[in-house]
Amino acid sequence: MTRPLLCLALCLLALSGSVAFRLPQVLESPAEGNRTKVVDWALLVAGSGGWGNYRHQADVCHAYQVLRNGGLDDDHIVVMMADDLANNIMNPHPGKLFNRPYGPDVYEGVPLDYTGENVNADTFLKVLAGHENDSVLIGTSGKTIRSGPDDRVFVYYADHGAPGIVGMPSGSFLYADQLHKTLREKAARKGFKDMVIYMEACEAGSMFEGVLSDDLNVYATTAANSEESSWGTYCPGMFPSPPPEFDTCLGDLYSVAWLENSDHYDLRNETLEKQFEKVRRRTSNDGTFVQGSHVKQYGSLIIDEEPASDYLGVLNTGDGTVSEADGRHFRCLENGGQQAIPQREADLVPLWAAVTRATSPSERQQAYAALASKLDERASLDAGVRAAVMAVLEQPEVTAVVKATYEASWQEFVDWMNSEENKDIKFSLLIGPPSEVWILEALDNGPDVAGLSEAFMGMRLPQKRGAALVDDWDCLRGMVEAWESVRGPLDQYGMQHTRAFANLCNSGVTSQAFGKAVHDTTPATVIEAVRKAAIAATGDAQEILAVSTVPAAEAEQAAAAVMEAEMPAAGAPFDMGAIISTDDSTRRPGAETRGQPGGLPTISFLPSRPLAGILNFISSVKASVDRAILRSRGMPGDAAAAHN
Catalytic option among 56, 61, 76, 202:
202
* Contacts of residue 101, Cβ cutoff 8 Å, sequence gap at least 6: 234, 240, 241, 242, 243, 250, 329
Indicate if 160 belongs to the active site: yes
**One-letter identity of residue 521:** T
Return the closest-CA partner of residue 118 out of 46, 184, 191: 46
Cis preceding-peptide flag for 236 (omega within 30 of 0): no
CA angle (214 as vertex; 210, 220 as ends), nearest 5: 75
The DSSP letter of residue 74 is G
Q: How far apart are CA 164 and CA 46, in angstroms?
A: 18
Q: How far apart are CA 300 and CA 387, in angstroms?
A: 42
The DSSP letter of residue 225 is -
Which residues lie across from 8 on neighbouring strands? none
Q: Contact, 367 vs 354, CB < 8 A?
A: yes
Q: How far apart are CA 624 and CA 532, in angstroms?
A: 10
**One-letter identity of residue 250:** L
Give the pairing of strands 340-342 and 296-299.
Answer: unpaired
Cis preceding-peptide flag for 240 (omega within 30 of 0): yes
The DSSP letter of residue 315 is T
Q: How far apart are CA 472 and CA 402, in angstroms?
A: 16
Q: Contact, 624 vs 561, CB < 8 A?
A: no
Catalytic option among 56, 62, 76, 160:
160
**Alpha-helical regions (H) of 449-547:** 449-458, 473-487, 498-506, 511-520, 523-538
DSSP letters of 377-407? HHHHHHHHHHHHHHHHHTSHHHHHHHHHHHH
Cis preceding-peptide flag for 551 (omega within 30 of 0): no
Q: How far apart are CA 347 and CA 353, in angstroms?
A: 11
Return the closest-CA partner of residue 172 out of 487, 491, 475, 486: 491
* Contacts of residue 39, Cβ cutoff 8 Å, sequence gap at least 6: 24, 25, 26, 76, 147, 148, 150, 151, 152
Indicate if 76 belongs to the active site: no
Please count the other Cβ atoms lying within 10 Å of the Cβ belonging to residue 289: 12
Which residues are tagged catalytic? 160, 202
